[in-house]
């Protein structure tokens, strides 16, 4: 009788153990699902713009470049600036020999006196209207020549900027090369060669960022001005 009791008892124990393990597995699964539900975060799908950044190689140029030279060749009397000098618009940077200018001044003074005398003669009928007009024309031509010589005797910079080239010294005769080159580098122009792939995407006024190898990670802002 004891053998039968032992045989029936062992299966019951096994069933009890299995039932206990099954109950523990269900509990662990429930805890895991609860933990996962706590970590889930629901977000609403939204449309947001994404920056499209492309990098190109470019060359930096001055905003304005001006070559300082007289209208006609001549001897340079003095140069007041040198390479790397900063100049302002309207500042005198060089002077030319003024011998021709002084000669023209004398001629203008003579023609002006002649014209005034012709006016007096015309008033009393001493000369014709044609003669008076001829005297006036001669004076006007001489005055124009004097003004041109004056502008080409004292040379001024038409822009504010930096002297980037000086090709002569005082006493030299200015010929083909300009005496000075002055560049306005504030702001500068950045010339970019854009590939055909991006050509249609570039529009006037588009903002851009520029970095120079010599300046590390420093970034400069600009915009597209010419396409």
74 bridge partner residues? 174
- 48 vs 24: which has the higher pLDDT: 48
Separation CA 161–CA 139 (nearest Å): 38
pLDDT tens string 183-203: 998 888 888 888 888 888 888
138: which residues sit within 8 A by CB, 6+ positions away? 111, 114, 115
Mean pLDDT of 150-176: 93
List the domains of the chain with CATH numbers: 98-152 (1.10.287)
pLDDT in tens, 121-146: 999 988 999 999 999 999 999 999 99
Q: How far apart (Å, rounded) are the C-alpha atoms in residues 34 and 57?
A: 56
């Amino acid at each position: 009788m004891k053998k039968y009791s032992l045989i029936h008892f062992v299966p019951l124990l096994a069933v009890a153990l299995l039932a206990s393990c099954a109950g523990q597995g269900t509990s662990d699964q429930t805890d895991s699902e609860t933990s996962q539900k706590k970590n889930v975060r629901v977000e609403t799908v939204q449309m947001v713009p994404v920056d499209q950044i492309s990098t190109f190689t470019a060359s930096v140029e001055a905003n304005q470049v001006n070559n300082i030279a007289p209208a006609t060749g001549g001897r340079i009397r003095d140069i007041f600036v040198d390479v790397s000098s900063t100049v302002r618009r309207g500042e005198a940077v060089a002077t030319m020999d003024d011998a021709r200018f002084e000669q023209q001044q004398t001629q203008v003074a003579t023609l002006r006196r002649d014209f005034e005398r012709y006016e007096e003669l015309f008033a009393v009928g001493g000369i014709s209207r044609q003669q008076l007009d001829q005297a006036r024309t001669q004076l006007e031509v001489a005055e124009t020549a004097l003004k041109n010589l004056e502008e080409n005797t004292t040379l001024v910079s038409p822009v504010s900027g930096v002297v980037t080239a000086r090709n002569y010294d005082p006493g030299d005769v200015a010929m083909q090369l300009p005496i000075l080159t002055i560049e306005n580098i504030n702001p500068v122009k950045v010339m970019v060669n854009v590939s055909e792939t991006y050509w249609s995407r570039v529009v006037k006024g588009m903002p851009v960022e520029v970095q120079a190898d010599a300046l590390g990670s420093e970034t400069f802002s600009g915009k597209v001005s010419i396409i």
